[in-house]
């Protein structure tokens, strides 16, 4: 399978969001990754539904919403109406993660379960038959431009082996600190979707930066 790059807008220049979306798309991103924060699940804030509505009107590639919030249920229907294609929420906050995944999928969206670096990968095993994808956080969520946590590779390999052993179709997404030096290890470990933020948006040449992921 070809690697998909989900470009994180968190490191874009928010004062020029439309141009940043167009430039990232033109440079070859496959999806736009939207980091939705609430200042509670993570200490930081990014953007909420009104800004995403504007993003959705400009975007020409699929939207990949990553809910770093305490109450993911609140966001599901509004984001579905905005045409989001992928949506993940965190297992650490979802008391009824199985039911939430069913809800997301029932709206025709690819539903994913996300886990923090300190959460065991085995905790999502009961969801692997249902989920469309697993998002492995390879930094602690809340900020762009952090250093990749190596242990994430072990979690990705575990999921890849589990998927092969059971013949399951879920995708594996990695998020945080992805760059041109670790992408080879990540794809070898089993990654299908790489979230990339600072490596592209803090570079002087988005197209050149994204070339590193055209494997």
Q: Taking CB under 6 A as the rule, does residue 8 contact ligand DX5?
A: yes
Dist CA 129 CA 135 (whole Å): 15
Name which of residues 120 to 149 contact ligand DX5 (CB under 6 A).
Answer: 139, 141-146
Q: Burial, 164: exposed, middle or buried (Cβ in 10 Å; 0-12, 13-18, 19+)?
A: exposed
- Whether the CB-CB separation of 152 and 122 falls below 8 Å is answered with no
Give me the residue label for tokens 């969206």. Answer: 109
Name which of residues 167 to 186 contact ligand DX5 (CB under 6 A).
Answer: 175-178
Please calculate the CA angle 66-70-76 and round it to the nearest 5 degrees: 50
Dist CA 66 CA 144 (whole Å): 13
Please calculate the CA angle 45-209-11 and round it to the nearest 5 degrees: 10
Q: Taking CB under 5 A as the rule, does residue 30 contact Zn ion?
A: no
Q: Taking CB under 5 A as the rule, does residue 175 contact Zn ion?
A: yes
Shortest Å, Cβ 144 to ligand DX5:
4
Shortest Å, Cβ 102 to ligand DX5:
24
Shortest Å, Cβ 135 to ligand DX5:
8
Dist CA 130 CA 128 (whole Å): 5
Q: Taking CB under 6 A as the rule, does residue 64 contact ligand DX5?
A: no
Q: Taking CB under 5 A as the rule, does residue 66 contact Zn ion?
A: yes
Shortest Å, Cβ 56 to ligand DX5:
18
Q: Active-site residues: which are they?
A: 35, 175
Q: Taking CB under 6 A as the rule, does residue 38 contact ligand DX5?
A: no
Query: What is the contact surface with ligand DX5 in residues (CB under 6 A)?
Result: 8, 10-11, 33, 35, 66, 139, 141-146, 175-178, 195-199
């Amino acid at each position: 399978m070809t690697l998909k790059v989900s470009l994180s807008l968190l490191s874009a220049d928010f004062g020029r969001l439309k141009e940043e979306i167009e430039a990232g798309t033109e440079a070859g991103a496959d999806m736009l990754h939207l980091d939705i924060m609430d200042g509670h699940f993570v200490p930081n804030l990014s953007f909420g539904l009104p800004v995403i509505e504007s993003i959705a009107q400009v975007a020409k590639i699929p939207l990949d919403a990553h809910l770093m919030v305490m109450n993911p249920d609140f966001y599901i229907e509004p984001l579905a109406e905005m045409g989001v294609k992928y949506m993940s929420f965190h297992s650490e906050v979802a008391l009824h993660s199985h039911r939430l995944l069913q809800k997301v999928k029932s709206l025709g969206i690819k539903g994913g379960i996300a886990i923090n670096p300190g959460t065991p990968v085995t905790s999502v095993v009961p969801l692997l038959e249902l989920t469309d994808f697993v998002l492995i956080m390879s930094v602690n969520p809340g900020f762009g431009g952090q250093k990749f946590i190596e242990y994430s590779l072990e979690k990705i390999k575990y999921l890849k082996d589990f998927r092969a052993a059971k013949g399951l179709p879920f995708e594996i997404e990695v998020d945080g600190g992805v760059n041109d030096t670790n992408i080879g290890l990540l794809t070898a470990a089993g990654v299908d979707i790489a979230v990339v933020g600072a490596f592209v948006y803090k570079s002087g040449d988005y197209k050149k930066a994204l070339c590193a992921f055209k494997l």
